[in-house]
Amino acid sequence: STKDYINLMKEQLNFDAIKKLISRPDFRFRYDAMNAASGPYAVDILIGHLGADPSSLLNCTPLPDFGGLHPDPNLEYAEQLVKIMDVFKQKPENEVTDIPEFGAVGSGDGDRNMILGRRFFVTPSDSVAVITAYSHVILPKGKKLIGVARSMPTSGALDKVAQAEGIKYYETPTGWKFFGNLMDSGNVQICGEESFGTSSDHVRQKDGLWAVLAWLRILAHRNESTEVGKLIGVEQIVREHWAKYGRNYYQRYDYEEVETEAANKVLAQVMTKFDWFMSQYPGSKADIFDYTDPIDHSISKNQGIRFVFQDGSRVVFRKSGTSSSGATIRIYFEKYESAPDRLDLDPNDALKEIINLGLEPVSYTHLRAHETPEHLVCRLLLEKKKNQN
């Protein structure tokens, strides 16, 4: 019930600290429930318990058809909030101060989330990495962060935090079920995936509203002693994170309804490049990702094809779906940068070389007919911005 969930959140997060943040005259936020499941919970928590102004919440009445909205938390479908937060920087500079400092979006069943700052988009991979970096103020008092986990296609931003902080980390196949054993056994407290799923071990599933409250807790912590008018916002927090741990530039290309036989031929062609790749890039590896569950020792084979550079940069190929309509091939591109002058690049420029490398062995002419209108939210963001300029 709503009451049970609220009591659980009170146990998990410092509501007093978040309430203090929300009461600041220089802090404004918007949460869009997309007329879906998280709406009543958001109203009860954010307005009823944390004192937010009702105007801070959008589309919080669950409707059978979601009021015509598509309750998927990404930059395409969360159009209303994306405009409010001016993610594509379309508003004139004299209107920037009217933009809220924080924005978030829920999903159809409330399990996923998208985090936005003023004119700033936080990738799901960065979001779980930042949450992990601030776990000492997010997790309940006395609870220690032992381990974290991400799905294999999710960027290695989480790994960089875990390595730096001495936290154990796990890489699992796609699918939240693979986090279950890790959480149940106490090995992992925070999990995340590139498809906007983030949560802790307070439940065995994704919890989008928890992730939103976790970000509010981070903002509350960073602004405990800041003067009014000098609020530290989402963008500053993420940029400081990049400066400390490096930045994982990331994009995903989707090719849908590819004939299954053709998809298999494409992936077979890709695997012929293993030896060439490792000879060209010393310290790299290329393999097929198989996963052995460390708890019950079950084995999941053929979970993706990986080309991994020495610094963690990657090209990943994964096939999903074998229905009569065909298969989907997803290609993930990731470039790690840690040099201070390489942290603010256009993602398209940062990834250009690695994308060309990743597409070189692919029958791209065949796949292009199956390319989805949007690949990954990062690319969508940049393409829309360029088209509107």
Q: Tell me: the pLDDT tens digits for 161-173?
A: 999 999 999 999 9
Q: How far apart are CA 100 and CA 245, in angstroms?
A: 27
CB half-sphere exposure, 110, CA atoms < 13 A? 16
pLDDT, mean over the chain: 91
What is the average per-residue pLDDT within 9-34?
A: 98
Quick one: average pLDDT of 18-46? 98
Burial class (CB in 10 A: 0-12, 13-18, 19+), 143: middle
Query: pLDDT digit string (tens) for 240-284?
Result: 999 999 999 999 988 888 888 888 888 988 999 999 999 999 999
Whether the predicted pLDDT of 365 surpasses 50: no
Look up residue 246 and give its two tokens: 């490096």
Q: Which of 109-118, 132-141, 376-385 has the lowest mean pLDDT?
A: 376-385
Q: Where does the pLDDT of residue 361 fall: very low under 50, low under 70, confident under 90, or very high at 90 and above? A: low
What average pLDDT does this structure show over 28-47?
98
Question: Which pLDDT value is given to residue 263?
Answer: 84
Reported as a pLDDT band with limits 50, 70 and 90, residue 308 is very high
pLDDT value at residue 382:
37
- Per-residue pLDDT, 358: 84
- The 10s digit of each residue's pLDDT in 321-353 is 655 578 888 999 999 999 999 999 999 999 999
| pLDDT for 380 beyond 50 | no
Dump pLDDT digits (tens) for 56-77.
Answer: 999 999 999 999 999 999 999 9
Evaluate whether 6 touches 41 at the Cβ level (below 8 Å).
yes
Res. 80: pLDDT tops 90 = yes
